[in-house]
Amino acid sequence: MSRAPRFLAIVLFLLCGVSPACAAQDAVLERGTAVTDPATLRQLDGGKFRLDRVLLSERSADTPLTNSELFAVPSMAPVRQAIDGEFDRYIARHGASLPKETIGVGEGFDFQLFDRVLLYSAETRFALAGIVNRMDRTYAAEASCGEIRLIYRLTRVNKAAGDTASPPRLPMTLNVVLKARGDGEAITCSDIAGRWLAAPLAATDLIRHENIDRIETNLQIAHAPKSAVRDFRTDYLLKVFRYDRNARIFAEAPMENQIDRARLLADDGLKREFRAWLLDPANLVAFDRGTVLIPEKFLAQGAIAPTPVGFDPSELEPEFGLVQGEGAVFSEADVVAALRKATEGGAKLQNIRSLAGFERRLNDVTCSGCHQTRGIGGFHFPGVDWMTDKPSNSTVVPGSPHFFGDQIRRRDILTALRDGKEPDYSRGFASRPQLRGSTELAGTNYQDGWGAHCYVQGKPASNNDASFRDWTCAEGLTCQAAGKTSRIGMCFIKSR
């Protein structure tokens, strides 16, 4: 899988993000699926959607809890303990694998750790950065009509007077994931979808503390500037904590579809079980559609997502070491035979038509793989910074190219739910939205325009990979691959 296009996508997105035309297009794309207006978010953050009021239904105080107070709440103690454990393991792992490089807090280190003091500080809190409708995930939670997500960004609130060097926002998000329909609520999925499509802000009245399912955290755990021994690198720590209503705590939980590669490769029995499960025709079809839900026995409870990727093989995309090679979970023969069996059985595969397509999907169904693809660094929704008068380029628009490229699919699903029709929950690869007949994305960097991910077409056409041969560029553009071996590239203007 090509590494450079993912990094270039970040740069291209930032260039587009400051363009009024791009901003206007993005505002249209997110219609009905998100609340992203800075002034509105500022008002909501001062009201019932302030994080401490969301997590602690009994709290009514005017002053928001700082993080030192938030992480002292009993329900958040397991979250702090788990994050601290991940830091300790990260430091130990890099201390052993990088003996010539230092790791610690501050610019004097080769690997500059995020300062945990700030995470648990009286000088920081989480500010509301956006509200996103994810009813497109109803396939994973039919009884609750999918999810609604409140996304918060770690922010400094007590900067020292005259401190202009420290940015107010810090590289961490915390998502509160709620059921779109709470247990026992009489409202239908159709009604909820209709209210979101008609007026997303008014639809937030449906969000209640009782609907909380889990929280998800994404933290830039370390940054390594470019040096004589390597290029720059940034690592993001991803975690999930499910709400235990009986214990009233957020407990560390397996991450959806985050394959525990190390455990699979070390356990032959588990490896065989996972191979048989995923290659079963019914599961393979769901895998192709992007709606597969891998059993928790195969999953990890945390992940590090490097950006850009391509460093230590043990920290590459989740599929690394799982497909082909000695000791791998899947061989080329396994995959080819499974694809043939599925199609002969009448399955119409939409995305996976080759070994390379299988490998790419194995990566982007995972949390870490998805966050490495077409993101702003390691984030898909950093949100606009409403706490500063002059937001940086990376916060002029709220979401990544992946986020905006997926909005038409999400809106189509909302419309189908509203109208009582069976939604099509399938999705394309994270790199390239799946065509659904709409032309809204044509010519944009989300689909086939300048900066879009594409596939270098070869001759004869029969030699083109069936999973990617439709990844073409708009007229006047040509697909240029970044590496010498990969044919996945980006659309640029044809050289004269």
Residue 158 confidence (pLDDT): 66
Instruction: Give the C-alpha separation, 296 to 334, whole Å.
Output: 23
Per-residue confidence in pLDDT tens, the chain, 496 aa: 333 333 333 333 334 443 444 555 555 666 778 999 999 999 999 999 999 999 998 888 888 999 999 999 999 999 999 999 999 999 888 766 666 778 889 888 888 999 999 999 999 999 999 999 999 999 999 999 999 999 999 999 865 545 555 558 899 999 999 999 999 899 999 999 999 999 999 999 999 999 999 999 999 999 988 877 777 889 999 999 999 999 999 999 999 999 998 899 999 999 999 999 999 999 999 999 999 999 999 999 999 988 876 433 344 444 456 887 777 899 999 999 999 999 999 999 999 999 999 999 998 899 888 888 877 877 888 887 787 655 554 456 788 888 888 999 999 999 999 999 999 999 999 889 887 777 888 888 889 999 999 999 988 888 899 999 999 999 999 999 877 778 899 999 987 6
pTM of the model: 0.89
* Domain hosting residue 114, numbered range: 57-255
**Domain for residue 422, yes or no?**
no
**Domain for residue 362, yes or no?**
no
With contact defined as beta carbons under 8 Å apart, do 206 and 180 qualify? yes
- CB burial of residue 140 (10 Å; 0-12, 13-18, 19+): middle
Residue 343 confidence (pLDDT): 94
Buried b (16+ CB within 10 A) or exposed e, 333-371: ebbeebbeebeeeeeebbbbbbbbbbbbbbbbbbbbbbb
For 446, phi and psi rounded to 5 degrees? -85, -25
Smallest Cα–Cα separation from 304: which of 487, 114, 468, 124?
A: 114
**Domain for residue 377, yes or no?**
no
Adjacent-strand bridge partners of 140: none
**Domain for residue 140, yes or no?**
yes
With contact defined as beta carbons under 8 Å apart, do 262 and 299 qualify? no
Q: DSSP secondary structure string, 108-172?
A: TSSEEE--HHHHT-TTEEEEEEEEEEEGGGGGG-GGGTSEEEEEEEEEESSPPTT--SS-SEEEE
Instruction: Give the C-alpha separation, 426 to 409, whole Å.
Output: 9
Instruction: Give the C-alpha separation, 167 to 154, whole Å.
Output: 11
**Domain for residue 219, yes or no?**
yes
With contact defined as beta carbons under 8 Å apart, do 316 and 323 qualify? no
- Name the residue type at position 314: S
Q: Calculate helix-pair angle for 332-344, 268-279, nearest 10 degrees.
A: 30
Residue 1 confidence (pLDDT): 37
Structure tokens at 342: 């599925």
| Number of structural domains the chain divides into | 1
**Domain for residue 1, yes or no?**
no
Residue 93 confidence (pLDDT): 84
Instruction: Give the C-alpha separation, 18 to 24, whole Å.
Output: 11
**Virtual torsion, Cα 474, 309, 1, 16, nearest 10 deg:** -10
Could you tell me the CA-to-CA distances from 315 to 104, 141, 218, 296, 304 in Å, in that order?
19, 31, 17, 21, 7
Instruction: Give the C-alpha separation, 448 to 446, whole Å.
Output: 7
Residue 19 confidence (pLDDT): 44
Could you tell me the CA-to-CA distances from 307 to 3, 195, 231, 258, 465 in Å, in that order?
9, 38, 11, 17, 26
Smallest Cα–Cα separation from 251: which of 263, 239, 237, 261?
A: 239
